[in-house]
């Protein structure tokens, strides 16, 4: 069992670190929850299954001074590379336990499919199907149907960077274009429709800032300009323009930095597609500056640098 | 904000202190005729222009935003406009994704001596905004 | 006036429309897969299948409201002199909250003690509260995370509601709880309900049994203050918390607010908006010092407020109605009911602990 291998791998590194960040069972069978382990006795609580959705590497910058071992799926490993590019972690303090991942599950998609009934039991079979039991009976879903959209076009199922790898590497046959097909499609909608779409989505926002706080690259956190009075970017009014502005702050501060882990979108209690704007910017970053966040440690984020002659930028005429 | 009488629209201009603001001044001193829709905000350098300035202006009542700095290689702080160019280009591509016409935003380079070029830029840009019409026709605008 | 009534399933929408004729009706409306309390209109689809993502608190305690507008006026005689003109609005429209759950209605009672039953009642809260009729739908079954029975509530509890509705096979059994509620029964869609009363009450009792009680039999979880005060306990359990505002903003019993002035040149408004103890700015002092600098200190306050400080002040009443929203929507599945059950033990043994262990530990302790 992969859980056993994982527990062994953790046991192997745990005496070299202050804390191990992994997953354990959450409040019901459908939810895993992050756990911070400081003693070997806790290792037996560790679980690994497609419900382990959280990007645990998000906690790393706040633990910069500690020695940390962290579990990382393929997509999560991009976060670590981006941290390295931006000098947000000390690589030598981090032990990465990589896990090749064949896709996780969107809890929201399951909940929608079972009409938000309380879950009694969850099981997985060899083929990667998930069976969910509620008081109304059992339902089985194939992973493809209930995974988050990011997994459908995942190009990095095997961590790009790791110290220990648990399980065999997995290859992906997905291309860059597959990953952005939905963005291109949205771009082709009439402009009025696009505005209406965003207004409708942002209107639901309650500015709980879960999206921001869950984002590994949102490192300002406590000093975020969405909340400060000085500078006073936005007020406490619950109006559409203030909500819109908050999302622009989030998107633009992530320009060329978003590793597309999808945490922002996963955590939103109002189901707002928070990641879409950042993915659009990423698409442009690739076109303009041939840059993709979190794929090599040596790259420089495009907004941190420039070329004197930008061949891809044409001068705009009025 | 009080209703502006006449057919004027709100165009906000972020001008760098060393070149474009000087350029606008030159145009004024030379008494070149210019549209009056533009409200100028002087910034130390185009590198000071956070793309969020532009977004904030557009979301809170502006119908168009113009950013102007020194020509590339002429920035008073040598690199400011190079950074600005990258950011503003990114923004230009993002606006239409949000449903805001990218034509409502323009960035350019005007030096302190180019009074005529400045006059042309303001005139053309204001004309373009008038063609697009107001951005906030029906929407609430919070001050 | 009738005390009970019955509404056929197919007439429910007309009933809501009827209510909206002379009141703003806040009802749980479907948007994509999200259920949100919103001001109802004919374009919206009411969804009663499950509790809404957000509680109905916004109807009486809006996320942001203008307390008053102010204008500075220059004295024409003496330009150095300024006077300020203040305009406050304390007139509120008649409103109905339709489809709140018993826990949601209970939540308003928790607000009432703070905003009304004091010697300085809050005119904004009180104004809206008095104008609002709360029509609550009993729960057939709990949602993931629900634990209302553990904090003195229940899926058919009528405290805080003006009307209680029970879903039956063919329609909805309606009971007036207060005088205000009786008026609702006058709607033309409501027929006589007497013959459905037994069926409804049986159903209410059944649903009661389905809700989990993480605190065991005693509805007053005895919190061990030594554990509550130990930083290690919180640090250990709360390291995963993101310190966002999802739990407080979605909580029907969180009532903290912020007051800010938004000023233009010489006019502006003072607004009151939701705030929450999970935000760092909540306790940030002018000097830059923050007495609750870490997320676990903030969460300790959240638990403390609900399970220690509020009960101390108000005769043991717990300021949590067990709606489970903070559990369901927490990005990292922090479970407040689990934290509180840990807190009942005297050993900070969260490391190897599951909820059951923590409970048995307490039992063992008691047996000794
Ligand atoms: S998580 Fe969702 S509701 Fe909360 S601030 Fe982000 S977008 Fe808004
Ligand atoms: S913006 Fe969203 S997808 Fe991008 S890094 Fe942050 S949480 Fe991940
Ligand atoms: S407990 Fe959960 S919802 Fe509350 S602040 Fe922490 S992460 Fe956010
Ligand atoms: S603390 Fe959580 S369970 Fe209790 S009332 Fe608030 S949201 Fe509901
Ligand atoms: S000073 Fe003009 S662009 Fe930098």
User: Greatest CA span in chain B, whole angstroms?
Assistant: 43
How far is C149 from C204, CA to CA, in rounded Å? Answer: 13
Alpha carbon of C321 to ligand 2 centroid (Å): 33
Q: Please tell me whether residues C200 and C346 are part of one structural domain.
A: no
What is the percentage of chain C residues whose pLDDT exceeds 70?
A: 92
What is the percentage of chain B residues whose pLDDT exceeds 90?
A: 89
Give the pair of three-digit tokens for residue C104.
């949601």
pLDDT for the residue C344 = 85
The predicted model scores a pTM of: 0.93
Domain that holds residue C320: 225-367
Asked if C1 is an interface residue toward chain B (Cβ–Cβ < 8 A), one would say no
Asked if A197 is an interface residue toward chain B (Cβ–Cβ < 8 A), one would say yes
Rounded to 5°, angle at Cα A285 from A283 and A288: 110
Q: Please tell me whether residues C67 and C184 are part of one structural domain.
A: yes
Q: Please tell me whether residues C113 and C59 are part of one structural domain.
A: yes
Please state, as a whole number, how many other Cβ atoms lie within 10 Å of the Cβ of residue C261: 11
How far is B6 from B1, CA to CA, in rounded Å? Answer: 15
Q: Which chains touch C (3 or more CB pairs under 8 A)?
A: A, B
Which residues of chain B are within 8 Å of residue C262 when distances are taken between CB atoms? 143
Q: What is the SS3 assignment for A203?
A: helix
pLDDT for the residue A1 = 60
Q: Is residue C79 part of a domain?
A: yes
Alpha carbon of C279 to ligand 3 centroid (Å): 10
**Ligand sitting nearest the alpha carbon of A258:** 2
Which of A109, A218, A233, A270 best tests the C interface by mutation, with the highest count of C CBs <10 A? A270
For the stretch B50-96, pLDDT in tens is 999 999 999 999 999 999 999 999 999 999 999 999 999 999 999 99
Q: What is the mean pLDDT of residues B11-28?
A: 97
Q: Is residue C220 part of a domain?
A: no
pLDDT for the residue C217 = 67
Q: Which of residues 240-279 of C touch B (CB under 8 A)?
A: 262, 264
CB of A292 closer than 8 Å to CB of A80: no
pLDDT for the residue C365 = 36
Determine the topology of domain B5-132 in CATH. Answer: Rossmann fold (3.40.50)
Number of H helices, E strands in chain A: 11, 8
Asked if A39 is an interface residue toward chain C (Cβ–Cβ < 8 A), one would say yes
Low-confidence ranges of chain C (pLDDT < 50): 346-368
Query: Is B47 a pocket residue for ligand 5 (Cβ < 6 Å)?
Result: yes
Give the pair of three-digit tokens for residue A300.
């420089």
Q: What is the SS3 assignment for C176?
A: strand
Q: How far is C258 from chain A (nearest CA, A)?
A: 9
Q: Please tell me whether residues C180 and C261 are part of one structural domain.
A: no
Asked if A48 is an interface residue toward chain B (Cβ–Cβ < 8 A), one would say no
Short-list A67, A36, A316, C72, CA closest to B121: A316
Exposed (0-12), middle (13-18) or buried (19+): which is B128, by Cβ within 10 Å?
Answer: middle
How far is C67 from A267, CA to CA, in rounded Å? Answer: 32
From residue B33, alpha-carbon distances to B20, B36, C352 in Å are 17, 9, 79
Q: Is residue C216 part of a domain?
A: no
pLDDT for the residue A126 = 86
Closest chain C residue to the Cα of B143, Cα to Cα: C264
Of C241, C249, C339, C340, the one to substitute when testing ligand 3's pocket (max ligand atoms within 8 A of C-beta) is: C241
Q: Please provide the average confidence, as pLDDT, over all residues in chain B.
A: 92
Closest chain A residue to the Cα of C244, Cα to Cα: A210
From residue A103, alpha-carbon distances to A129, A156, B67, C14 in Å are 11, 11, 45, 46
Does C240 contact A26 at a Cβ distance shorter than 8 Å?
A: no
* ipTM of the shown complex: 0.95
pLDDT for the residue B139 = 47
pLDDT for the residue A152 = 94
How far is B111 from A111, CA to CA, in rounded Å? Answer: 59
Q: Tokens 């009528």 — which residue?
A: C158
Of C53, C145, C235, C242, the one to substitute when testing ligand 3's pocket (max ligand atoms within 8 A of C-beta) is: C242
Where are the domains positioned within chain A?
2-104+147-307, 105-146
Short-list C16, C18, C19, CA closest to C29: C16
CB of C153 closer than 8 Å to CB of C204: no
Q: Please tell me whether residues C249 and C200 are part of one structural domain.
A: no
For the stretch C66-96, pLDDT in tens is 999 999 998 888 888 889 999 998 899 999 9
The size of chain A, in residues, is 318
E strand segments, chain C: 4-8, 24-31, 34-39, 64-74, 82-88, 95-100, 132-137, 163-167, 171-176, 257-263, 267-274
Q: Is residue C62 part of a domain?
A: yes
For the stretch B23-34, pLDDT in tens is 999 999 999 999
Q: Is residue C217 part of a domain?
A: no
Q: What share of chain B is helix, strand, coil (3-state, %, to 5)?
A: 45, 15, 40
Of B13, B14, B19, the one to substitute when testing ligand 5's pocket (max ligand atoms within 8 A of C-beta) is: B19
- Give the β-pairing of C82-88 and C267-274: unpaired
Give the number of domains in chain C.
Answer: 2
Query: Is C325 a pocket residue for ligand 4 (Cβ < 6 Å)?
Result: yes
Task: Count contacts between A and C (CB, < 8 Å).
Answer: 128
How far is C57 from C254, CA to CA, in rounded Å? Answer: 9
Instruction: Output the residue whose Cα is nearest ligand 1's atom 6.
Output: A211
- Per-residue pLDDT for chain A (318 aa), expressed as one digit of tens each? 677 899 999 999 999 999 999 999 999 999 999 999 999 999 999 999 999 999 999 999 999 999 999 999 999 999 999 999 999 999 999 999 999 999 999 999 999 999 999 999 999 998 889 999 999 999 999 999 999 999 999 999 999 999 999 999 999 999 999 999 999 999 999 999 999 999 999 999 999 999 999 999 999 888 899 998 889 999 999 999 999 999 999 999 999 999 999 999 999 999 999 999 999 999 999 999 999 999 999 999 999 999 999 999 999 999
Does B52 contact A252 at a Cβ distance shorter than 8 Å?
A: yes
Q: Please tell me whether residues C101 and C178 are part of one structural domain.
A: yes
């Amino acid at each position: 069992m992969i859980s056993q291998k994982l527990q062994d791998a953790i046991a192997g590194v745990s005496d070299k670190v202050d804390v191990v960040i992994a997953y354990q069972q959450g409040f019901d069978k459908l939810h895993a929850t992050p756990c911070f382990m400081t003693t070997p006795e806790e290792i037996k609580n560790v679980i690994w299954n497609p419900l382990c959705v959280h990007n645990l590497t998000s906690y790393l910058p706040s633990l910069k001074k500690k020695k940390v071992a962290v579990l990382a799926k393929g997509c999560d490993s991009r976060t670590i590379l981006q941290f390295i590019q931006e000098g947000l972690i000390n690589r030598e303090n981090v032990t990465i336990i990589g896990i090749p991942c064949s896709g996780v599950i969107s809890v929201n998609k399951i909940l929608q499919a079972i009409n938000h009934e309380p879950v009694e039991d969850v099981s997985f079979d060899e083929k990667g199907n998930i069976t969910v039991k509620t008081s109304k009976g059992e339902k089985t879903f194939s992973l493809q149907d209930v995974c988050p959209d990011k997994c459908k076009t995942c190009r990095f199922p095997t961590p790009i960077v790791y110290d220990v790898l648990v399980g065999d590497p997995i290859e992906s046959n997905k291309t860059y274009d597959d990953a952005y097909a939905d963005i291109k499609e949205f771009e082709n909608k009439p402009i009025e429709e696009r505005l209406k779409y965003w207004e409708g989505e942002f209107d639901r926002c309650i500015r709980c800032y879960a999206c921001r706080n869950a984002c590994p690259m949102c490192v300002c956190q406590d000093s975020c300009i969405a909340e400060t009075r000085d500078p006073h970017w936005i007020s406490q009014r619950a109006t559409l323009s203030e909500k819109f502005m908050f999302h622009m702050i989030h998107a633009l501060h992530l320009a060329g930095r978003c590793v597309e882990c999808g945490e922002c979108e996963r955590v939103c209690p109002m189901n707002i597609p928070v990641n879409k704007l950042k993915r659009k910017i990423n698409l442009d970053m690739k076109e303009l500056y041939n840059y993709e966040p979190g794929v090599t440690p040596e790259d420089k984020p495009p907004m941190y640098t420039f070329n004197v002659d930008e061949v891809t930028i044409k001068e705009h005429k009025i | 904000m009080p209703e502006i009488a006449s057919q004027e629209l709100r165009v906000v201009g972020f001008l760098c202190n060393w070149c474009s603001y000087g350029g606008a001044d030159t145009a004024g001193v030379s008494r070149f005729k210019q549209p009056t829709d533009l409200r100028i905000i002087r910034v130390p350098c185009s590198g000071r222009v956070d793309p969020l300035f532009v977004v904030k202006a557009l979301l809170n009542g502006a119908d168009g935003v113009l950013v102007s700095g020194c020509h590339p290689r002429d920035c008073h702080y040598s690199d400011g406009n190079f950074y600005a160019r990258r950011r503003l280009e990114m923004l230009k591509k993002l606006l239409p994704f949000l449903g805001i016409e990218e034509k409502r935003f323009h960035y350019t380079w005007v030096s302190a001596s180019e009074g005529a070029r400045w006059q042309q830029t303001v005139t053309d840009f204001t004309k373009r905004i008038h063609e697009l019409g107001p951005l906030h026709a029906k929407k609430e605008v919070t001050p | 006036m009738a005390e009970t009534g019955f509404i056929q399933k197919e007439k429910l929408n007309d009933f809501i429309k009827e209510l909206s004729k002379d009141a703003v009706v806040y009802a749980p409306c479907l948007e994509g897969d999200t259920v949100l309390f919103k001001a109802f209109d004919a374009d919206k689809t009411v969804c009663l299948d499950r509790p809404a993502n957000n509680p109905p608190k916004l109807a009486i305690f809006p996320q942001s409201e203008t307390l008053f507008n102010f204008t500075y006026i220059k004295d024409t005689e003496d330009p150095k002199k300024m006077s300020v003109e203040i305009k406050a609005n304390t007139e509120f429209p008649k409103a109905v909250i339709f489809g709140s759950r018993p826990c949601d209605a209970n939540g308003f009672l928790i607000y009432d003690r703070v905003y009304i039953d004091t010697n300085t009642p809050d005119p904004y809260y009180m104004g809206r509260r008095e104008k609002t009729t709360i029509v609550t739908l009993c729960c057939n079954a709990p949602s993931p995370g629900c634990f209302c029975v553990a904090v003195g509530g229940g899926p058919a509890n009528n405290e805080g509601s003006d009307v209680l509705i029970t879903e039956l096979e063919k329609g909805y059994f309606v009971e007036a709880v207060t005088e205000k509620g009786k008026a609702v029964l006058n709607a033309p869609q409501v027929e006589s309900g007497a013959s459905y009363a037994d069926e409804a009450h049986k159903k209410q009792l059944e649903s009661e049994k389905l809700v989990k009680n993480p605190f065991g039999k005693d509805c007053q979880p005895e919190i061990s203050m030594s554990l509550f005060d130990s930083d290690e306990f919180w640090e250990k359990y709360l390291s995963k918390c993101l310190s966002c505002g999802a739990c407080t903003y979605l909580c029907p019993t969180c009532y903290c607010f912020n007051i800010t002035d938004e000023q233009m040149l010489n006019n502006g408004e003072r607004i009151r908006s939701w705030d929450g103890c999970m935000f760092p700015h909540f306790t940030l002092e002018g000097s830059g010092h923050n007495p609750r600098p870490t997320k676990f200190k903030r969460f300790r306050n959240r638990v403390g407020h609900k399970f220690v400080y509020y009960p101390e002040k108000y005769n043991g009443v717990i300021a949590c109605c067990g709606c489970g929203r903070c559990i369901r929507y927490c990005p990292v599945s922090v479970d407040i009911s689990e934290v509180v059950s840990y807190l009942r033990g005297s050993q900070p043994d969260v490391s190897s602990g599951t909820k059951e262990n923590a409970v048995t530990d307490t039992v063992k302790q008691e047996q000794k």
